[in-house]
Amino acid sequence: MRRPYRELGKPFAVRTVELLQGLQLIADSLYRIREGEIRYLTVLSGQLRSLVAERSKGEAPLLLHVAEKFGSTLEIYCMPGIDDSGLPSEIRKNLVLHVAGFPVTLQRQFEAQRKIELREFLDLKLIQFKGNDYSPRTIIEWYANKSGGSHYSRKIPEDFAALLALNLMNMQPLANLLVQIGDAVLATGRSLLRAEIELEIFALVVVPRQRDSAIKNVNYLFDSKYEGSEMRLCISLNARLMPSFFASGLQGAWARVDCDRLIDWSEPRLIHATLVLEEDLSTTLELAIDGVRVGRTNVKEPLFVLADPLDYASYHNKGFDDEPQNFTFGVGSVVMIGRELGPEERANVLLHMGRERVDPELKVMLFSPQAFGLAEKGTKNLAISGHATLRHVGDLLSPHPRDDA
C-alpha cells in the first residue's frame, strides 16, 4: 500500500540557510540587471515575493519570519508616499506617472525621510499611474505572479502592461522601481545578518616555552561549538606557534585565516580576531597581534555564526572533539563582542588591553598539560578540569630549555 503524501515543517536552521541563499540571489540579480541583463528581473521578483511578499496559505515571508524569530524589527527610512509628496493637486491630477517614497535607506539621509517598518513600507502607496495607486507589494506580485518570477500568466493587468511598455529616456520606470525595492530588501536583510553574526574577539595570551612533544599540528587555545550544528569558532596555534582563527557557519561553509609571520612569545600577546559581513554578502575574517594585522581572508559566502558567546559550549586549552592536550598556555582577559566595533570603540578596547598586556603585575590563568576549562552553553562560568592556577606572567616567561629532558 502506498504511503500517503505528507509535508513536514522545516527546522528554523533550514529556514535561516534559505534566507542566506535568497539574499544572495537578490544581490546577484541586482548586479546582473545593472549590467544590462534584464531577464534577471524575474529572478529578483521571485525572491522578493518569497522573502517579503509571500501570501500563500500557511506560509510566511521568509525575511520577516526569520527577523521575528530573532526578535528584530526591520526598520527603514523612506520619503513620503504619493499622498504626502507635496505636489500641488492641480499638477497631480494631470500626471501620467507619479513615483514617491524613494530613496530608501537604513539611516536618515534626508530631513523629509521617516522611519517605518519594512512590512509597512510594502503596503505604502508609492506609485500612481493614470489615477490608480499601487504599492511595492503590488509591483513585486505583478512581476512574480504574472511575468515569470513564480508564474507565467496568459493575462496581465492592463496598467502592468502599460508600465512595461513605458520607456522614458531609455529607462523602464517599472523595472527601476523593482530594482530600488530589491535594494531596500537586500539592505534590511544584510543589516539583520550583521546584527546576528558579526563579532570581535580580544584575548590576552601567554605561551610559555613548551616541550617539543607537547606541540602538535593544532594546539587549541579557545574552541566554541553550537550543539547540533556546524557553527564553530576556534583560535589555535600551529606547530610553529603561529595563530589561526577558524569559523564554520550554520550552512557548513567555513573559513580560516592564518598568521603570516612567526610570533615572539617571550612576552604576552593580544590576539584580536574579527568576522565581518561585507556589502556583497561575502565574509571577511581578520587576525591581528598587538594591534598589527597578521592575516586576512574572504569567502564568497555569508558565514552564519551566532555572535553571542552564551550560545556556545566553549573550551579553553582543548579542542571540542579532541582529547586533552599536553600544551600549556596562560590566558588573561578575554572579550567577545557581538558586532563590528566602530574605529573609536575598537581603539579604546585595544588601548585598554594593550595597557594590561605590558603591566608588570599581570597575572594569567595557566592551564597545565592535560588541563582545560569548559563553559557550558548559556553560562560564562568556566569549569576547570585538571591543574590550572593564577600565575604571575614574569614567572612563566623565564627562559628554560625546550626539550624532552
Whether the per-residue pLDDT at 176 is higher than 90: the answer is: no
Whether the per-residue pLDDT at 173 is higher than 50: the answer is: yes
The SS3 call for residue 285 is: strand
Whether the per-residue pLDDT at 12 is higher than 60: the answer is: yes
CATH architecture of the domain with residue range 198-396: Sandwich (2.60)
The SS3 call for residue 168 is: strand
- Residue range 230-280, pLDDT digits in tens: 999 999 999 999 999 999 999 889 999 999 999 999 999 999 999 999 999
- Residue range 336-370, pLDDT digits in tens: 999 889 999 999 999 999 999 999 999 999 999 99
**Are 266 and 304 contacting, i.e. CB atoms less than 8 angstroms apart?**
no
404 pLDDT band (50/70/90 cuts)? very low
pTM of the complete model: 0.87
Q: Where are the domains of the chain?
A: 12-194, 198-396
More confident residue, 55 or 249: 249
Strand partners, 298: 284
The predicted structure's pLDDT at residue 54: 86
The predicted structure's pLDDT at residue 7: 42
Backbone angles phi, psi at 375, to 5 degrees: -105, 115
Among 106, 121, 103, 124, which Cα is nearest to 193's? 106
